[in-house]
Structure 1
Amino acid sequence: MKFISWNVNGLRAIMKKDFPEQFKSFDADVISLQEIKLQEGQSDFSPEGYYAYHNYAQRKGYSGTAVFTKKKPLSVTYGIGIESHDQEGRVITCEYDKFFLVNVYTPNAQPELKRLSYRVQWETDFRAYLMHLDTMKPVVLCGDLNVAHQEIDLKNPKSNRNNPGFSDEERSEFTKLLEVGFTDSFRFLYPDITERYSWWSYRFNARANNSGWRIDYFVVSNRLQNKILDADILDQEFGSDHAPVVLKLDI
């Protein structure tokens, strides 16, 4: 199966670009989007051959996620069952015969780490949610996780130390996720590769200079490691400040 995950930074905005053609060209079994920034009824994008599921934030023009899937899931749930976390449209879980797909847009810690304490609580609760799913079926987690895990996952680690997305606390939470039985699919295949990023600031010609961060992931249950065929970052696909990431699984 081929999976795509992309933070589109506004579905209505990217629809004005080449997104419909990009979507077709991906020819993926499941395409997960983050930061769709819309409410129900504000988009009529319904690609042929796909079932569509959306989780909208209560706040207008903010956050939100969507999943487009060729195969109808056995079930679809929204959020993680904790009211304090489930107001921003951040999680969609699709259950299939052999696995769960979880699409997530992780909360940003915000400038000066103003939301860091909430972020750490989110990580704790979200990790427990994933571990519970994993007791039933393997998990394929995708999305914008808003953290660069290792120093090789961003261009300027020293100057960004303890900035949002590269704080010690956020990196530690990602390590904890791996320690309880999950695998970063890209690093599993390419443990030492550098200068592969999925997000670039709109400032300072960051994308042209490839001064970026790898904060978009496919993370899978450890028992799916031998099913990973490929993991990549489609950094030549434009339209958002993020690039799509891809995972191919023999599942």
Structure 2
Amino acid sequence: MKLISWNVNGIRACVSKGFLEYFKNENADIFCIQETKCQEGQIKLELDGYHQYWHSAVKKGYSGTAVFTKIEPLTIRTGIDDKEEDDEGRVMTLEFEKFFLINVYTPNSKRDLARLDYRLVWEDRLRNYLKQLDQIKPIILCGDLNVAHNEIDLKNPKSNLKNSGFTKEEREKMTLLQQEGFTDTFRFLNPDKEGAYTWWSYMNKVRERNIGWRIDYFIVSNRIVNEINDANIHSEIVGSDHCPVVLEIFK
């Protein structure tokens, strides 16, 4: 089974930059996107053979997630739990026979860390939600998680220690998630690989020089790590400031 996750930074813009060509060439079983930046009806994608599920933010042109899948899910839910509506369109959960798929666009803590406290509470809620699902069946979490976990996951760790996405607090939440039964699939297969990034600033020649961050992930329940066949980063795909990440799992 092939799964792809991509923060498209606006699906309408990404379509004009080659999204559909990439989508068709990859022929994934499940394709997740984040930061759709559109409401229902603002774009119509012709994706033959795929069921489409969208979760847009209330605020127009902001956030949002979507999942395109060849396999019809058993159940679908939006938000982290049933008690609180997700007005920012950040979390989708699709239940399949063997696993839960959770497509996530994690809130950014902002340049001045103004949203860090909110982010940390959100991380705790998401982790508890994942643990609840994991008691039922294994989970596959994917998306833009807005954190570079370790120094190997960004080009300039020392100068970013107090910046959004690499604060001690955010990194500790990722560590805690993995300590509580979940595995970063790319690092599982590539523990020492340097220069493997999924996001680059739009500043001049930053991407060309590969001054990036790895903040997009596939994370799975520990008990299915031996089912992983491959985990890749398609850094050559340039339709967004992020690039797609790929997981091949199960038979």
What residue number does 1:168 align with?
A: 168
Q: Does 1:197 align with 2:197?
A: yes
What residue number does 1:109 align with?
A: 109
What residue number does 2:119 align with?
A: 119
What residue number does 2:181 align with?
A: 181
What residue number does 1:23 align with?
A: 23
Write the distance in 1 (CA, Å) between the matches of 2:22 and 2:241: 15
**Could you tell me which amino acid in structure 2 is paired with residue 123 of structure 1?**
E
Q: Deviations over 1:58-117 (max 9, x none)?
A: 011000000000010001111112666611000111100010000000000001111000
What residue number does 2:91 align with?
A: 91
The answer to which of 102-111 and 83-92 deviates more is 83-92
3-state secondary structure, aligned to 1:220: strand
Q: CA deviation at 1:250?
A: 1.4
Write the distance in 1 (CA, Å) between the matches of 2:82 and 2:73: 23
Structure 2 portions without partners, runs of 5+: none
**Could you tell me which amino acid in structure 2 is paired with residue 224 of structure 1?**
I
Task: Spell out the pairing of 1:58-97 with structure 2 (5 A cutoff).
Answer: 58-81=58-81, 86-97=86-97
- For the Cα contact (< 8 Å) 1:85–1:122, is it kept in 2? no
What residue number does 1:240 align with?
A: 240
3-state secondary structure, aligned to 1:163: coil
Task: Spell out the pairing of 1:189-228 with structure 2 (5 A cutoff).
Answer: 189-228=189-228
Write the distance in 1 (CA, Å) between the matches of 2:112 and 2:82: 26
- For the Cα contact (< 8 Å) 1:79–1:92, is it kept in 2? yes
Q: Deviations over 1:132-185 (max 9, x none)?
A: 000000000000000000000000000011100000000000001001100000
Give RMSD over aligned pairs: 1.0
TM-score, normalised relative to structure 2 = 0.98
What residue number does 1:32 align with?
A: 32
> Alignment identity in percent?
57
**Could you tell me which amino acid in structure 2 is paired with residue 180 of structure 1?**
E
**Could you tell me which amino acid in structure 2 is paired with residue 211 of structure 1?**
I
**Could you tell me which amino acid in structure 1 is paired with residue 42 of structure 2?**
Q
**Could you tell me which amino acid in structure 2 is paired with residue 242 of structure 1?**
H
**CA 1:75–1:85 in structure 2 vs 1: closer, same or farther (change >3 Å)?**
closer
Task: Spell out the pairing of 1:122-133 with structure 2 (5 A cutoff).
Answer: 122-133=122-133
Write the distance in 1 (CA, Å) between the matches of 2:60 and 2:67: 19
**CA 1:134–1:39 in structure 2 vs 1: closer, same or farther (change >3 Å)?**
same
3-state secondary structure, aligned to 1:111: coil
What residue number does 2:154 align with?
A: 154
The answer to which of 131-140 and 38-47 deviates more is 38-47
TM-score, normalised relative to structure 1 = 0.98
**Could you tell me which amino acid in structure 2 is paired with residue 146 of structure 1?**
N
What residue number does 2:230 align with?
A: 230
Q: Deviations over 1:187-218 (max 9, x none)?
A: 00011110000000000311000000000000
What residue number does 1:56 align with?
A: 56
3-state secondary structure, aligned to 1:132: helix
**CA 1:32–1:177 in structure 2 vs 1: closer, same or farther (change >3 Å)?**
same
Matched positions, count: 251
Runs of 4+ displaced beyond 6 Å:
none
- For the Cα contact (< 8 Å) 1:5–1:245, is it kept in 2? yes
